[in-house]
Amino acid sequence: MRTPHRVVLIAGPSGSGKSYIARQTGLPVLCLDDFYKDGDDPTLPRRNGQIDWESPDSWDAEAAIEVIGQLARHGRAEVPVYSINEDRRVATRLFALADSPLFVAEGIFAAEIVGECRQRGLLAGAYALRRPRSATFVRRLARDLAEQRKGPRMLLRRGVALLRAEPAVLRRQTGLGAEAARGREVLRRVARLLAVHPPAR
């Protein structure tokens, strides 16, 4: 049975412009970064004694799918508000779609739930943003410094590590079912999806 609303998943490496492209679609946007696990969660993965926030296991996929399902069926859901500076959820908020037939869910781990969303009949499309690695590195570092996510030295080290890992990240995301595409192509695809999905009633 078709749900009244369906989701467009936008993945891509950190700093690839997921949030920007999601906003450019004009659709309601669910930030999947709000589904990170709290910093004291015992199930968090670790590497060299430190929490590995780049691992999909640092993220609550089940909670994200549950919220996407509620949005698809009912057009509204309570979603968490996550503070990256504090490494924890600090609040919840009501997220509503009104009559929009589609909504975007964007985040570095969006590709992890492509298969499950497709199986449940929730998926309209899934994309992995790709852009020149140097542009991604600069954009990511500028964003993280501006938001004071961590100390500058740590952010620089993290940026270099992510730069090296970026090809592997894209391979994983496309392997999970997200289609690699530039930002403009994603916007064109979403426009075509909107043309065949009437407003929800």
Lowest mean pLDDT among 14-18, 84-88, 101-105: 14-18
pLDDT at 132: 65
Tally the residues of the chain.
201
Whether 130 shows a pLDDT value over 80: the answer reads: yes
The whole-number pLDDT of residue 109 equals 97
The whole-angstrom separation of Cα 124 and Cα 197 is 9
Q: What does the mean pLDDT of the chain come to? A: 88
Q: Say which CATH topology domain 6-196 has.
A: Rossmann fold (3.40.50)
Helix (H, G, I), strand (E, B) or coil at 54: coil
Least confident among 6-10, 14-18, 58-62, 171-175 = 14-18
When pLDDT is cut at 50, 70 and 90, the band that residue 10 belongs to is very high
For the chain, the domains span: 6-196
Q: Give the containing element (helix H, strand E) for 186.
A: helix 183-196
Local confidence band at 83 (pLDDT 50, 70, 90 cut-offs): very high
Q: How many of the other CB atoms lie within 10 Å of CB of 83? A: 13
Residue 199: which pLDDT band, with cuts at 50, 70 and 90?
confident
Residue 10 pairs with which residues in a beta bridge? 106, 127
- Average of per-residue pLDDT across 177-186: 95
Residue 127: which pLDDT band, with cuts at 50, 70 and 90? very high
The answer to whether residues 198 and 102 touch, using CB atoms and an 8 Å cutoff, is no
Can you give the pLDDT at residue 48? 86
How does pLDDT run across 153-178, given as a tens digit for each residue? 776 676 566 667 778 888 999 999 99
DSSP secondary structure letter of residue 87:
T
> Beta partners for 127?
10, 179
Rounded to an integer, the average pLDDT of 45-68 is: 94
What pTM was computed for the model?
A: 0.85
So what's the pLDDT on residue 149?
A: 63
Integer Cα distance of 34 and 107 in angstroms: 9
